[in-house]
Amino acid sequence: MKDLAVKFRSFDRPSQLLMLNQFTINLGFYMLMPYLAGHLSANLALAGWAVGLILGVRNFSQQGMFLIGGTLADRLGYKPLIVAGCALRTGGFALLGLVDSVPALIIASAATGFAGALFNPAVRAYLAEDAGEERRVEAFALFNVFYQAGILLGPVVGLVLTSVAFQVTCLVAAAVFAVLTVLQIRSLPPRSRAKSDPAARTSIRQDWATAFGNRSFVLFALAMIGSYVLSFQVYLALPLEARRVGGPGVAGTTLVALLFAVSGGLAIAGQLRITAWCRHRWGPGRCLAVGLLFMGAAFLPPMLTAGATGDPAVSWVSLILSAALLALGTIVVFPFEMDTIVALSGGKLVATHYGLYNTVVGVGILLGNLLTGTALDVARNAGVPAAPWATLAVIGAGCAWCLRALDNAERLTPVTV
């Protein structure tokens, strides 16, 4: 913790504020979202299709609108988009706790999603600019520590609040974002390349043409889709398998909680040291490839125990090991991934590039989750439960190979501004 504090103090105030903001953003988000589906189905007695629609609208309004948010950040400035996103999420979360009709819930869900599309690219672009080229990797490594801490603590706070009433959770989460909104207005200095970058005077269509026409960047985004499909399995495949192994009661819930604790705990404890170790020995391209190999290897333990019917402790250990390897891979990848996006943008239209990147991988997550969830059911019914896990491992190896190929072809080399 001492090293963490020293590193944190070494950054300028705007970067420090952005890191603390991200912790609070994730705290507010994850104290509510894990319990939303249960509230919709149990408390409001909505049909499964309605629950799926409401949750799907939230995901689409965020992942599908990242490009819009990034473009607006480059043209209007990073601070206004961060403030607007926090304010919109304040209203969205409050509305989720106050309404019970499907149309109103869809509006609230869309607002919370679009809020993320507004502030996420702006936050990352702001942090990249404030940290500077020499310290971007360090900044994003520390950023991920605060990011994971929010994910780890949020559900715990939400569990306590939801035990009182889900409406209380919604209103507290809304209050968190209301405080953040005021904090951004009062304390975050304006910062954007929109005022100094001649490209900002072009049309939106030209901005998008620049981003889509950046061949190295697009190839990188496509190669990284697999990493997001794999990392998202901590929310899909691993919890589903944990419920199967531990059952629907306390044991299954405990195992799911352990998976998240291992994932978040490793990031908080090891991110800075692991990033420094990798950076000292390898270039960004190799770091990305190694991280993807770890992420792919994470699915080998559950592959080996998928059909096990003996001691359940073996399955518990395999899932915890899987979560640990997946977290390790993500720890290695994240800072270099964020840095590479900025490098490939050439330092221009950075938020637009972040927005396009998140949109591309968001589509990949949607398709990947659909296929993974279907494959888990089909494979178990067909008597080959190991097949989906093997496929996920192959995806990791394939993405690692693609990244090494891009690196060898100098497609990940920073653009000279």
Show the domains of the chain with their CATH numbers: 1-191 (1.20.1250.20), 204-411 (1.20.1250.20)
What average pLDDT score do residues 17-43 get?
89
Question: 107: Cβ–Cβ under 8 A, 6 or more apart, which residues?
Answer: 95
Extended beta strands in 145-233, E state: none
Q: What is the pLDDT of residues 174-203, one digit of tens each?
A: 999 999 999 999 999 987 554 445 445 688
Q: What is the pLDDT of residues 313-338, one digit of tens each?
A: 888 999 999 999 999 999 999 999 99
Residue 34 tokens read as 């894990």
* Higher per-residue confidence, 47 vs 272: 272
Residue 384 pLDDT greater than 70, yes or no: yes
Residues 50-65 pLDDT 10s = 887 888 788 888 888 9
Residue with tokens 């589906």: 37
What is the helix (H) or strand (E) element at residue 240, kind and residue range? Answer: helix 237-246
Query: CA geometry: angle at 76 spanning 185 and 181, to 5°?
Result: 20
